[in-house]
Structure formats: structure tokens, C-alpha cells
Amino acid sequence: MEETQRKSNGRVAVITGGAAGIGAEVGEQLAAAGYHIVIADLDLAAAQATAARFQGQGHAASALQMNVADAQSIAAGFSQIGQEFGRCDVLVNSAGIAKVLPFVEYPLDIFQSTMNVNVTGSMLCGQHAARLMIPKHWGRIVNIASVAGMRAVGSGRTAYGTSKGAVIALTRQMAVELCPHGITVNAVAPGPVDTPMTRVLHTDKFREEYTRAIPMKRYGTTAEIASAVTYLASDGASYVNGIVLPVDGGFLAHGAGSI
């Protein structure tokens, strides 16, 4: 792990998928709040580049290669975090994948790999992080779900929507079981955000239709999602546990009728 420790507040925040998109912005906000950021990402070069950017801003950050689809990779990563820091105060499960294909033809291997990254990966990272949090009797876990786990967002999200619904159920289960240890677990459910993921996934037609269905008539920004995560990770959110916080410009609030 490459690291600097210039502005660490003594707490460590591990962000899976922290090299890009929403995870990178969460890292930036938590780094500014004084956390030492561990960017745990499949793409080591991208994680190193993001960590270097935070270091250039005077923050404390490390890059760690982790594949959340692989239990051994997760175990090795958290073992390294345990040895190096002796703690993990915040875990943000942001690593996620999505493939949009029709339900009737949805390939089993893609369904299973999506569940493996989005759900099993969040569960396993949560277990390892909790084991480091329990001795300190303080911890914050934030799972990045999606509005697609609460509504069917267009067609094609057989794996993605199901996985995010499962992330929401997982969040509630973890919240109930971990709060006796001083650990809160919550989920943020973003609406659409312009990131490397959606640049590939969202066609122009889909963007137009999605934007029309959002009362605020725009995509969210990574900063708007990260603000919600930063709040849930804060000391101030000490009585918030097991919730799903949509950050979606009113998308879920809207029913029938044109807007």
C-alpha cells in the first residue's frame, strides 16, 4: 500500500470501488473530513491515481487492489488493512457492476456475477470491516444501493435491480445485528449520476426518458451522492440506522402524470 499520513484524524475509511465515480467522490469528501482513505478497487492503477490526487490535495490516502467478487482477495485486503492500521472505522461499499439485457434472455453467468459483486461483495466486506470495528465499539457502514433496487428503472435490470434490492435487505439485517457494537449500517440509493458506469450504460434515449421522469429534471452529481454518504458516516448520524436514503431529485416520490 502506498500512503501518506499528513492529515489523518486517526480514523480509517475503506471505500470499495473508490477509484472512480461515486466512490472517488466519497473518498474526496471523507479525506477532507480527516479520514485516512483506503481506496480498495479492482483497478489498482486507477486506485493509485485517485490516491495520488488526494495526497496532492494534502490528504491521507492509500491504494489497495481488491476484487470484491473474490472472497480471498477481500480477506487478504482486510488483513493488510488490519496489519497496517489496526482499524477500519468507516466502510463504504461502492464497488458495483451493471449489465442491461432483456429478462427472458438474461444470461445466468451475468446474473450470478452481478449478484456476486454487488451483494456478496458488500456482505463479505461488511463482515471483515465489522470485525475491525467491534473492538473499537464504533463504526459506520454505508452501502451504495440504487433506486433500481426500489423500482424497476426501465427494462433490462434483472440482475442489477435484484442485486440492489438485496443490498437494501442486507443493510437492514446488518444494521440490526451490528448496532449493539456501536456500528450503524445504512444505504444510499442514488438516482442517475453521470459516472464512467452510466456513460457506458445509458443511451441518449434512456437519458432523455429518465430525465423526464425526475421532478428536478436532471441527473445527480457524484458530490450530491457523496454528501449523503458523508452524513451517514458522521458522528452526527449516530441514531440513524438501517435506513435507505434516496438521493434522486424526487424520482421515487413521483407517481402518475406528466411533470
Ligand X SMILES: NC(=O)c1ccc[n+]([C@@H]2O[C@H](COP(=O)([O-])OP(=O)(O)OC[C@H]3O[C@@H](n4cnc5c(N)ncnc54)[C@H](O)[C@@H]3O)[C@@H](O)[C@H]2O)c1
Active site residues: 160
Using the minimum distance from each CB to ligand X, give the nearer residue, 130 or 148: 148
Does residue 122 interact with ligand X by CB under 6 A?
A: no
Give the shortest CB-232-to-ligand X separation in angstroms. 14
- Out of 96, 126, 139, 249, the residue judged to bind ligand X by CB under 6 A: 96
How far apart, in whole angstroms, are the C-alpha atoms of residue 173 and residue 95? 20
DSSP state of 157: B
Residue type, position 238, single letter: S
| Binding segment toward ligand X, per CB under 6 A, in 13-21, 104-112, 168-176, 209-217 | 13-21
- Out of 193, 213, 214, 232, the residue judged to bind ligand X by CB under 6 A: 193
| Binding segment toward ligand X, per CB under 6 A, in 76-84, 188-196, 228-236, 250-258 | 188-196
Does residue 133 interact with ligand X by CB under 6 A?
A: no
Using the minimum distance from each CB to ligand X, give the nearer residue, 7 or 41: 41
Q: Could you write out the three-class secondary structure of 108-123? A: HHHHHHHHHHHHHHHH
- Stretch 23-42: interaction string toward ligand X, x if CB under 6 A: x-----------------xx
The C-alpha cell that represents 174 in the structure block: 446488518
Q: For residue 255, count other CB atoms closer than 10 A to its CB.
A: 6
Contact criterion met (CB below 8 Å) for 141 and 185: yes
Using the minimum distance from each CB to ligand X, give the nearer residue, 7 or 228: 228
| Binding segment toward ligand X, per CB under 6 A, in 99-107, 127-135, 172-180, 196-204 | 196-204
Using the minimum distance from each CB to ligand X, give the nearer residue, 60 or 117: 117
Nearest position to ligand X, beta carbon:
21
Strand order in the sheet with 12-16: 2-3, 61-65, 36-41, 12-16, 90-93, 139-144, 183-190, 244-247
Does residue 77 interact with ligand X by CB under 6 A?
A: no
Residue type, position 156, single letter: G
Contact criterion met (CB below 8 Å) for 13 and 90: yes
In angstroms, the Cα distances linking 15 to 10, 23, 50, 68, 89 are 16, 6, 12, 11, 11
What residues make contact with ligand X under the rule CB under 6 A?
16-17, 19-23, 41-43, 46, 66-69, 94-98, 117, 144, 146, 190, 192-193, 195-198
